[in-house]
Structure 1
Amino acid sequence: MVYCGKPSKGCQMCRTRRIKCDETRPTCNQCTKSRRQCPGYKDDFDLMLRNETTATERRAQKSATTTRKRQQQQIGQGTAATAARRHATPALQHMVKSSALQPALQIPVETRASCYFVSNFVLVPRQGTARGFMDYLIPLLRAQGTADTHIRHAFNACALALLGNSRPSADGGEEMGDKAVGEYTRALSATNTALRDPKTAKSDAVLATVLLLGMFESITAKKIGEFAWGSHIEGAIQLVKARGRKQLRTKTGLQLFVMVRRQLIIHTLTTGQAPIMGVAWWMTDAVNDPVATALQGLCLKTSDLRAQVTGLMTTTTTSSPSSFPSSFPSSSSSSTSPQRTDLVLALMRRAQSLDQDLSAWMHSLPPVWQLRTLCWHDGNSVPPDGDYSRMEVFPGRVDVYSDFWIASVWNMARTTRLTLASIIVRCAACACAPVDYRTTPEYATAARVSADVIEDIIASVPYHLGWRGGRGMGGDGHRGGHGEEEDMSGFACGEDGGIKSLAGYFLTWPLACVMGQDHLTDAQRAWVQGRLRYIGDELGIRYAYILCQMRKCIPSMLIRRDGLIAQPYPIAHNFEKLLSARQAPPAASYTMNPLQQRETMQKEHFERKRSELLAKASETTATESIKKAIEKFLGV
């Protein structure tokens, strides 16, 4: 028994006829006019409650009958299909099987690669900020449409290469690699054609294409000699120079300018060259994000300072390098002259001042820029053989950030501090020569700062690579997502969670700087190499493989080079000639060439020491056998 709402109070005849009843009693006027017998009205109880049991049973029986008939039809169809397959020919059976295995929808590999690249590299800012990466690509590609243009070919090359590196077995990595190289070749040809046209040479699309070509090199690099990233970045710098200040008037132009400035910082810190056009030209009226822009200004000043220090250490003539300020005294041929020492100390004080500015920048960041320590990894997961390269997290602190972009800016500041520390130590070594530079207070301070910065960079790596916790630290380990952190930027396609190739791309430069530091422990170096291999294997950034092969120690190798150059040899500044000095003719002021004279001096020193030892052995009461043993040891 159910309540079915307010029923009609009319007579049964009017309700059956579905007309309005005037409810006249005892007989309604509608029945009287139509000459029908009025059946009367129901009482109030029957109006409110109605018995629906019979109707419900009837509907249930009807539904069961319909279901039974449908099942019988399906069984009959399945039996007929089975019989048809049993009596079909082998060719027909193969055709049926092939059609059953064929997927319903075939997505072109170019489309899948494009979506994969955008979901891994194009970072779009949120909440009205400017914290994005390559977000200018989307409007530029839409403006070009589906035409075969240089930017479309460059984009396809990067997308196919990234997908092929990340999923080599599932999607046919070798085939996609060949397609990527073909797209890269077409992009180079189309870009050269566009550069020859004055109307398109300075366009946003051409500059974006050159940056994509440089990224393609980072994605596909296999050998150091084949790595052409620097040439593409130098081309982008020349394009920005030719475009002038008017490129900053548009949003896309400003984004491209800032992108090139970021690549310029890495390029100058890597090569030791000064920023072309000077620091002021790159910083004036080019503010995308105020906090990041302030840091990039300090990074460019560091690049300029490092170029000046390198020029001073590699100059043996009496004239100052052109990059030095006119207020500095000229360097002399003597590495210990007072003028040269004053110049070195002035450069060292500039490096210390820049390091203080960087430290102040870190402490003045707004709350959204601040990092948070997620946990401390106690190192219980170290393999029994002590192979740190297989560990996801290095024992110590693990930090998390608001998003990848902010974490990359932090690491740029840290790598700049490492560069400044090496500059300070180089200057201290030059100023205190021939005293061991490791006894100076500047070396002690730089060593402490470098060790702390290395720990900070290592603590940021797990966040980049998707690690959000671990066993034994108060919770279960999990990957993907960003935990309690609210991302300030998101990817233009796909989900924001999980490990992204952009995170590995951001990590390659900081890990490269860490790899070459004197203050890196053996365990840290093994772990960094393991993370670089992981970035190359899993995230598709093959440039990380090249970084694993690098063998350098900064600043000790630079200090040793500076010491070799400072030797008073006429051709000491030219390493190529110095290495071939054995076949070189003697210099004008020497009877022998420099290396021959050095070998002669070493031989005379050895003969003098041997004579002294033999004299002491003769004066003592040593036996004849002991004296012969001494002579044999000395080669007499």
Structure 2
Amino acid sequence: MQCDRIQSGCTQCSRQKITCPGYRDSSQLRFRDETGVIAHKVQIAKKKRSYLPATPSAITSSPSGSETSPLAAVSESQDDVEDIPLSPLCLDILAEPTAITYFMTSFIIASPFEEYLPDLYQTDPLANDAVSSAIRATSFATFALRVRDASYMKTARSNYAIALAQTNAALESPQAAVLDRTLAAILLLGLFEAIIFSGRQSPESWTAHTLGALELLRIRGKQQFQSKLAQHLFIQTITNIRTSCIQRLVPVPAECLKLHNEAMQFLDPDDPALRIGPIIDRAASIRAQAKEHPVPELIYQARDLDQEVVALMDSLEPEMRYKIQPKEETPAWAYLGLSYHYPSHRVAKFWSAIRMVRMFVNELIWRGIALGFGQPHPNTSRDEAQCDTLCKCSYLENLKQLAVGNMTEVATGVLASVPDFLEPTGNRGKFCPSARTLIWPLNILLTSPVYSGLTRKYAIFMLNELARDLNLPQAVNAAAFRGESEDAEDWLHLYHLA
């Protein structure tokens, strides 16, 4: 019997004189992730495929002759799939809904796309525009990694080429250029570049898409804040730019800062990305200055910024905080026997951003003082100077030790967060797709001699596990090629943003 969904309880429950349990959120019914099952069936079918063209009836008809969708066709029993000869084109048709479902229900969890992309896709799933093509491209790319089949990556690249052409055509139209779907397509193209990036070089294509999106924000003007979707797109674009800058040791563009300030009157100031955004701006500026013109004043700027980050941490609401798991729920392999549990992986990602900022600024403090910046008597040892406790060098030494303590605390937080990214069941690998957001902070733990040997060893071990489970060998290669060139680490932020 069909539920009529009348408020505040359905008629069917009323007739049976029972309490209506309520209605499931319809948004939760849109996608069901059967990736593991269907991917297995598709792989079996590939082994038995023939290279004869598939007939329409083999794709769209059930044995009884009734029409069915490709998803329903591939969801038949395993024996049925094995008996159907499939061409490569047919396999792509069968895999598309599975790839999109995996992308929407698994891959984009913890990313900004999670907030709006499923709804945007569902508004017109049959649209033949840049967004739809870009969704197919990213879906097939992530699916290719998931099932470890390069043939799907070929399909992904074909859809990417189509999406790129459609996006360029939209940008040439003054009317289409300012549409939300055009900006969403650009962000998806950037995501595709992040997915396929092999590392060990500067991500020029991704950066080009990101800077192009910044220009689009400027053109879109104040009217872009009239919808929730547009606000999500704005915040995601600004966050991508900020994060790229702090990793590449360059200041955030003035145009980006200006747009942020103008937009704040339209946005929710409690949004986590907006709360940490100005902190990332300052951290990027300090790191850029330290690279080009290191001066003692930067040590104190970094100190003040770290204090602001701590204040932000202390002000977080309960729903933004993590809990330390009891020992019986902590894996035996957990770092120092600690396991942090977060309300969601988006919250865990926010804490990763906080910790990485603290890593950067405390490393700058420690290294600057270790190199002698700001010392009142740089050519004399502290013992030789016979200075008192009020001497500036005493303060700097204490500040240096404080930075070491902060870095140790942050490293513990990063490593204790790893168990929270385990799959709840063991049928899809050890780590869930959103665990890719751990790759950047784990690599940062390898950049400084301040971190203990145990910390570095554990970080390398976990990077190897993530690289194997998520089919991302470049994640651990970054550690192997560290110091080889300036570009060796210039792309790690892509995992945090993807």
Range of TM-score over shorter length? 0.5 to 0.7
The share of aligned pairs that are identical, in percent, is 23
SS state of the match for residue 316, structure 2? coil
Distance in structure 2 (CA, Å) of the matches to 1:460 and 1:499:
12
Residue in 2 aligned with 1:117? 103
C-alpha spacing 1:221/1:275, structure 2 compared with 1 (3 Å)? same
Counterpart Cα distance in 2 of 1:349 and 1:157: 46
The superposition leaves residues 199-218 of structure 1 with CA deviations (integer Å, 9 ceiling, x where unpaired) of 22222122212221222222
Q: Does 1:420 align with 2:361?
A: yes
Alignment pair present for 1:505 and 2:482: no
Hey, what does 1:187 align to over in structure 2? Answer: 163
Deviation at 1:544, TM superposition (A): 2.3
What is the match of residue 284 of structure 2?
A: 303
From the superposition, tell whether residues 245 and 275 of structure 1 become closer, same or farther in structure 2 (CA, over 3 Å): farther
**Aligned mates of 2:473, 2:414 — CA distance in 1:** 21
Does structure 1 residue 248 correspond to structure 2 residue 225?
Answer: yes
Cα distance, 1:272 vs structure 2: 1.3
Q: After TM superposition, list the pairs within 5 Å mapping 1:108-187 onto structure 2.
A: 108-123=94-109, 133-168=113-148, 173-187=149-163
Query: Kindly tell me: are residues 377 and 229 of structure 1, through their superposed partners in 2, closer, same or farther at Cα, counting changes over 3 Å?
Result: farther
Aligned residues: 380
Which residue of structure 2 lines up, in the alignment, with residue 11 of structure 1?
none
CA spacing shift, 1:496–1:211, aligned 2, 3 Å = farther
Give the whole-Å Cα distance in 2 for the aligned partners of 1:435 and 1:152. 66
Alignment counterpart, residue 406 of structure 1, candidates 347, 371, 374: 347
Superposed counterparts of 1:276-425, under 5 Å: 276=253, 277=255, 279=257, 281-283=259-261, 284-285=264-265, 287-288=267-268, 290=270, 292=272, 293-313=274-294, 344-375=295-326, 393-425=334-366
**Paired residue secondary structure (1:247):** helix
Please list, as runs of the form range in 1=range in 2, the aligned pairs for 1:453-532 lying within 5 A after superposition. Answer: 453-466=410-423, 479-480=424-425, 499-501=431-433, 503-532=434-463
Q: Which amino acid aligns with 2:342?
A: Y
Q: Which has the higher helix share?
A: 2
CA distance in 1: counterparts of 2:248 and 2:83, whole angstroms: 53
Shift of 1:225: 2.8
Q: Which residue of 1 aligns with 2:199?
A: 223
Contact 2:252–2:285 (8 Å) recurs in 1: yes
Contact 1:122 1:135 in 2 (8 A): no
Query: Partners in 2 of 1:534 and 1:267 — Cα distance?
Result: 25
Give unpaired runs (5+ residues) of structure 2.
1-78, 382-392, 485-498
Change (3 A) 1:136 1:353: same
| Distance in 2, Cα, partners of 1:527 & 1:184 | 37
Whole-Å Cα distance in 2 between the matches of residues 259 and 548 of structure 1? Answer: 28
> What is the CA–CA distance in structure 2 between the aligned matches of 1:250 and 1:421, rounded to whole Å?
39
Question: 1:151·1:208 contact (CA, 8 Å) conserved in 2?
Answer: yes
Check conservation: 2:324, 2:338, Cα contact below 8 A. Answer: yes
Identify the match of residue 447 of structure 1 among 383, 400, 404. 404
Amino acid at match of 1:241: R
Distance of 1:552 and 1:459 partners within structure 2: 27
- Rounded to whole Å, the distance in 1 between the matches of 2:152 and 2:428 is 25
| C-alpha contact (below 8 Å) 1:378/1:395 kept by paired residues | no
Structure 2: how far apart are the matches of 1:380 and 1:157?
A: 37
CA contact (8 A) 1:533 1:548 kept: no
Specify whether residues 278 and 197 from structure 1 end up closer, same or farther in structure 2 by C-alpha distance, changes over 3 A only.
closer
Q: Does the C-alpha gap of structure 1 residues 550 and 282 become closer, same or farther in structure 2, counting only changes over 3 Å?
A: farther
Q: Answer yes or no: is the 8 Å Cα contact 2:330–2:338 preserved in 1.
A: no
Letter in 2 for 1:446: A
Cα distance in 1 for residues equivalent to 2:357 and 2:81: 59
Structure 2 contact 109–345 (Cα < 8 Å) conserved = no
Kindly provide the amino acid, as one letter, of the partner of residue 302 in structure 1. A
Is the Cα–Cα contact under 8 Å of residues 166 and 537 in structure 1 kept in the other structure?
A: no
- Unaligned regions of 5+ residues in structure 1, if any? 1-97, 125-130, 314-343, 382-391, 467-478, 482-494, 554-636
Q: CA deviation at 1:355?
A: 0.8
- 8 Å CA contact 1:123–1:134 kept in 2: the answer is yes
Shift of 1:307: 2.6
Name which one, 1 or 2, has greater alpha-carbon Rg: 1
- Contact 1:516–1:552 (8 Å) recurs in 2: no
Q: CA deviation at 1:114?
A: 0.4
Output the aligned Cα RMSD. 3.5
Question: Per the alignment, in what secondary structure is the counterpart of residue 338 of structure 2?
Answer: strand
Q: Distance in 1 between matches of 2:218 and 2:457?
A: 41
Residues 299-336 of structure 1 deviation map (CA, whole Å, 9 limit, x = unaligned): 222222323333423xxxxxxxxxxxxxxxxxxxxxxx
Classify 1:369/1:112 alpha carbon distance in 2 versus 1 (closer, same or farther; 3 Å).
same
The Cα shift of 1:226 comes to 7.1
Contact 2:112 2:236 in 1 (8 A): no
1:630 aligns with none
CA distance in structure 2 between the partners assigned to 1:161 and 1:235 by the alignment: 22
**Mapped partners of 1:285, 1:100: distance in 2:** 55
Query: CA offsets per residue over residues 448-484 of structure 1, 9 Å max, x none?
Result: 1111101111111110234xxxxxxxxxxxx449xxx
> Secondary structure in 1 aligned to 2:115?
coil
Q: Of the candidates 245, 251, 269, which is equivalent to residue 274 of structure 1? A: 251
In 2, distance between residues paired with 1:348 and 1:133? 37
Equivalent residue of 1:273, what SS?
A: coil
Q: Provide the C-alpha distance between the structure 2 equivalents of 1:544 and 1:456, rounded to a whole number of angstroms.
A: 20
Deviation for aligned residue 1:262: 2.1
* Contact 1:377–1:396 (Cα < 8 Å) also in 2: no
- The Cα shift of 1:373 comes to 0.8
- Tell me which residue corresponds to 1:265: 242
Structure 2 SS opposite 1:519: coil
Q: Which amino acid aligns with 2:283?
A: T
Contact 2:99 2:139 in 1 (8 A): yes
Q: Is the 8 A contact 2:322 2:343 kept in 1?
A: yes
Q: 1:556-567, aligned counterparts within 5 Å?
A: none
- The TM-score normalised by the length of structure 2 is 0.68
Distance 1:309 1:417 in 2: 16
Question: Which amino acid letter does the alignment assign opposite residue 340 of structure 2?
Answer: D
SS of 2:415's equivalent in the other structure is helix
Task: Give the distance between the partners of 2:352 and 2:165, measured in 1 at CA.
Answer: 36
